[in-house]
């Protein structure tokens, strides 16, 4: 389709009209020119297609579909191929239902456990989130269906999400909140990018030219269409000029007329409008030309896939005395309503109307299992009779498994949590069951970390997250050892909310949310603070054991425009088959800027039989060692020694090896009379210029022997000297230094 030729035939009103939706889910058609409408649908872990009575928050009915595990769970898989398979399945579903774009993945960073939408986001770590996002986009778009990576950017709270301004410094945006988007855009070119509701440093994302054009398009090379979050547009004309192509949903023609008026009034170049229309039509026709509505949608097969994926995502947090796996021949008590009716997805725009669900109790049919509901999730209560019944069942069983977690109302799109506790009735139930049976295991259904006041009184904890409609089947497979737990935490679990680095400023004051913690989000904070979390980032147990050995680097030193290859051997030294998650971290041994202790820069999931050993390789480029330099407005590697670390988690590093990295970029130098000696002497070139003058004036600054050195030693004098500005030479050198000589010195320091 010759899109440019079509645009030349459109009227100004038609072009403006194409820049907003026809209704809640469709783009506009122009029948006289054969331009069709395209339908989009909420995701990202299944389809929430609505035809009639559409609404963005899932209040009204949608078609029956397959609910896969939410992003909080799939990120725990640390498995790119698995997430790609899920994306392929969702892409097939879209083709069957004639959907051009699925609205996902959501990749915002988990700044705080309180964010109500954390279940829909991947991780607190930008590298992991980016890798998972790229894998999902690749899977969906391999089926010629578009994705809409969201919400760009810094939408890490639901509180006041449509009015709040995320106040984030440049380096933090670049190192923490942008990279997941950047990775997906550079690697996979999603068809669309959805901008967020919030302001960023005072400017709405929907009308931010720096965000939508300079960064997204000019720097990262995004070629697709930018679409608004539903109802995110404030000033439509400003948004169009900034790079916002498609407004969703329909605006009743109001904003279309504003665009027409702006063009006719000379306030908006029509070429800007044409460019937006071209981007919109590109994705519409891209889908139309590859539409395959006869694509089969085998929901039963996808249900089985959902169970497989959920099993790969579960994280075994505690397994004292090898209480797990359970024996199929021993009586087990299943306690808690979630055993029968699991919570498997979050609330809001991603809520799927599942065509079926499988709870753990149903999946355990035929096994010697006793059941007691224990509590009511809907009423958020547990009666004394319910707890007594649960205690009775626990006493009759070899192992008691309590299915606990957060009810639907606790976490949803649109609002944040006020605390990170489980319901009080569930905590009370767990403690009562643990007192009745020393072999108590807790299975958690939640989209974000929870406090665990009972952790020392139970022997096992299995984090199931929100595992999709087949979570019960997956849970039974893991509990009984059919599937080895291989999930690893994609986020840190603090012991209490007050430990979280954002706790003092999260949510903000009024419409201002200041990201005071900067780059120290999640494990970057806990590691730097040397604070013990409840469970660290990357943590997870297995029913077998893995050993790492023979870490080798391709070179002892490299330039930052070269790559480094790291190889390591991983072996299953246990008695069961399992999957190891090899995590590679990079640590800057000495830096003049604040940096985390270590940062995740690579991971691989490796299946291994007992005794089997494999070699894993990682390739690291400049970004693995760089930080965002606000003077250069670019990535910069500070020359020096780094450590390549191989670990089981951010807190369990098994191997490390040093490498020296030299920078191919020279930082700009500028010194003046207010520059201090410390900064000048840290620059080898400047230090060479300054050193002769310092030596000639050494007697001025250093105390003479005798009583003077008792008051202030040579070491003290040198320590004080480093903080003195160049202009102090005039004060202390007297007539030994002419002002012109100092000016000449500054010129030499600046290379003149």
Q: Which residues are catalytic?
A: 229
Spatial separation of the C-alpha atoms in residues 721 and 45, rounded to whole Å: 60
Spatial separation of the C-alpha atoms in residues 672 and 743, rounded to whole Å: 9
> What strands lie across the sheet with 546-553, from one edge to the other?
546-553, 564-572, 613-620
Q: Using CB atoms within 10 A of its CB, is residue 527 exposed (0-12), middle (13-18) or buried (19+)?
A: buried
Angle between helices 270-288 and 254-264 (to 10 degrees): 130
Angle between helices 424-436 and 384-395 (to 10 degrees): 30
Give the up-direction half-sphere exposure of residue 744: CA atoms within 13 A in the CB hemisphere. Answer: 6
**Cis-peptide into 105, omega within 30 deg:** yes
CB 446 within 8 A of CB 73: no
Angle between helices 80-96 and 126-141 (to 10 degrees): 40
Segment 560-564 long-range contacts (CB within 8 Å, at least 24 positions apart) = 560/622, 560/625, 560/626, 560/637, 560/661, 560/662, 560/663, 560/664, 560/665, 561/622, 561/664, 563/619, 563/620, 563/621, 564/619, 564/620, 564/624, 564/644, 564/659, 564/661
Q: Using CB atoms within 10 A of its CB, is residue 693 exposed (0-12), middle (13-18) or buried (19+)?
A: middle
Does residue 75 come out as left (phi exceeding 0), alpha (psi in the -120 to 50 range) or beta? alpha
Sign of CA dihedral 222, 228, 230, 232: positive
Nearest Cα to Cα of residue 71 among 38, 107, 17, 47: 107
Angle between helices 126-141 and 179-188 (to 10 degrees): 30
CB 328 within 8 A of CB 480: yes
b/e string for 99-128 if b means 16 or more Cβ within 10 A?
bbbbbbbbbbbbbbbbbbbbbbbbbbbbbb
Nearest Cα to Cα of residue 152 among 204, 84, 218: 204
Which run of H or of E encompasses 181?
helix 179-188
User: How many C-beta atoms surround the C-beta of residue 365 within 10 A?
Assistant: 8
Does residue 58 come out as left (phi exceeding 0), alpha (psi in the -120 to 50 range) or beta? left
* Secondary structure (3-state) at 17: helix
> What strands lie across the sheet with 460-463, from one edge to the other?
315-319, 460-463, 440-445, 399-405, 332-335, 369-372
Largest CA distance in the chain: 99
User: How many C-beta atoms surround the C-beta of residue 433 within 10 A?
Assistant: 30
User: How many C-beta atoms surround the C-beta of residue 455 within 10 A?
Assistant: 15
Q: Using CB atoms within 10 A of its CB, is residue 255 exposed (0-12), middle (13-18) or buried (19+)?
A: buried
DSSP per residue over 440-468, as a string? EEEEEE-SS----TTGGG-SEEEE--S--
Beta bridge partners of 512: 165, 509
Instruction: Please provide residue 329's backbone torsions phi and psi, each rounded to the nearest 5 degrees.
Output: -95, -5
* Secondary structure (3-state) at 537: coil
């Amino acid at each position: 389709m010759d899109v440019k030729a079509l645009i030349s035939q459109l009227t100004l009103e038609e072009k403006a009209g194409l820049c907003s939706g026809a209704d809640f889910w469709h783009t506009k058609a122009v029948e006289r020119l054969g331009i069709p409408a395209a339908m989009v649908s909420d995701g990202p872990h299944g389809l929430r297609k609505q035809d009639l009575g559409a609404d963005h928050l899932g209040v009204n009915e949608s078609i029956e579909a397959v609910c896969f595990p939410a992003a909080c769970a799939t990120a725990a898989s640390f498995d790119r191929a698995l997430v790609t398979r899920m994306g392929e399945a969702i892409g097939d579903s879209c083709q069957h239902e004639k959907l051009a774009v699925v609205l996902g993945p959501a990749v915002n960073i988990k700044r705080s456990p309180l964010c109500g939408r954390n279940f829909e986001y991947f991780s607190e770590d930008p590298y992991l989130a980016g890798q998972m996002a790229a894998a999902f986009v690749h899977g969906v778009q391999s089926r010629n269906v578009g994705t809409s990576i969201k919400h760009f950017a810094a939408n890490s709270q639901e509180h006041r999400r449509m009015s709040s301004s995320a106040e984030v410094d440049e380096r933090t945006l670049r190192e923490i909140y942008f990279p997941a988007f950047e990775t997906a855009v550079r690697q996979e070119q999603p068809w669309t990018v959805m901008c967020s509701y919030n302001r960023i440093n005072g400017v709405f994302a929907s009308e931010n030219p720096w965000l939508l054009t300079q960064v997204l398009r000019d720097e990262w090379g995004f070629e697709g269409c930018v679409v608004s979050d539903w109802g995110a547009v404030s000033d439509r004309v400003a948004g169009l000029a900034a790079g916002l192509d498609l407004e969703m949903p329909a605006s009743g023609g109001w904003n279309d007329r504003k665009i027409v008026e702006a063009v006719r009034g000379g306030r908006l170049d029509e070429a800007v409008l044409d460019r937006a229309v071209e981007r919109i039509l590109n994705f519409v026709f891209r889908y139309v030309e590859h539409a395959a509505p006869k694509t089969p949608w085998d929901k039963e097969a996808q249900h089985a896939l959902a169970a497989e994926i959920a099993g790969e995502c579960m994280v075994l947090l505690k397994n004292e005395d090898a209480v797990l796996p359970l024996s199929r021949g021993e009586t087990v008590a299943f306690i808690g309503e979630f055993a029968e009716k699991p919570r498997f997805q979050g609330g809001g725009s991603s809520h799927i109307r599942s065509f079926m669900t499988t709870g753990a109790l149903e999946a355990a049919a035929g096994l010697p299992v006793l059941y007691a509901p224990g509590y009511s999730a809907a009423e958020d209560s547990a009666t004394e009779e319910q707890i007594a019944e649960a205690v009775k069942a626990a006493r009759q069983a070899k192992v008691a498994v309590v299915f606990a977690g957060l009810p639907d109302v606790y976490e949803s799109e649109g609002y944040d949590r006020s605390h990170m506790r489980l319901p009080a009735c569930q905590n009370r139930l767990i403690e009562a069951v643990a007192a009745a049976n020393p072999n108590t295991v807790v299975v958690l259904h939640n989209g974000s970390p929870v406090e665990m006041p009972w952790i020392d009184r139970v022997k096992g904890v299995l984090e199931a997250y929100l595992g999709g409609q087949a979570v019960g089947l997956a849970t039974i497979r893991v509990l009984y050892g059919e599937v080895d737990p291989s999930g690893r935490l994609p986020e840190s679990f603090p012991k209490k909310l007050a430990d979280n680095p954002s706790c003092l400023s999260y949510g903000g004051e009024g419409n201002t949310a200041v990201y005071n913690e900067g780059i120290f989000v999640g494990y970057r904070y806990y590691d730097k603070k040397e604070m013990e979390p409840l469970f660290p980032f990357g943590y997870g147990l297995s029913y077998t054991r893995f050993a790492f050995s023979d870490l080798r680097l391709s070179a002892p030193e490299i330039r930052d425009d070269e790559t480094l290859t790291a190889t390591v051997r991983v072996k299953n030294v246990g008695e069961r088959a399992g999957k190891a998650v090899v995590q590679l971290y990079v640590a800057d041994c000495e830096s003049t800027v604040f940096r985390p202790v270590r940062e995740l820069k690579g991971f691989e999931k490796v299946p291994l039989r007992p005794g089997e050993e494999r070699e894993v390789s990682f390739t690291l480029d400049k970004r693995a060692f760089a930080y965002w330099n606000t003077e250069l407005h670019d990535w910069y590697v500070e020359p020096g020694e780094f450590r390549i670390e191989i670990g089981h988690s951010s807190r369990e590093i098994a191997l490390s090896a040093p490498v020296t990295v030299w920078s191919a970029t020279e930082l700009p130098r500028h010194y003046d009379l207010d520059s201090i000696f410390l900064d000048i002497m840290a620059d080898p070139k400047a230090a060479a210029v300054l050193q002769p003058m310092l030596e000639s004036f050494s007697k001025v600054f250093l105390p003479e022997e005798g009583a003077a050195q008792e008051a202030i030693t040579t070491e003290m004098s040198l320590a004080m000297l480093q903080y003195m500005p160049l202009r102090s030479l005039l004060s202390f050198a007297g007539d030994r230094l002419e002002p012109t000589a100092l000016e000449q010195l500054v010129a030499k320091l600046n290379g003149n």
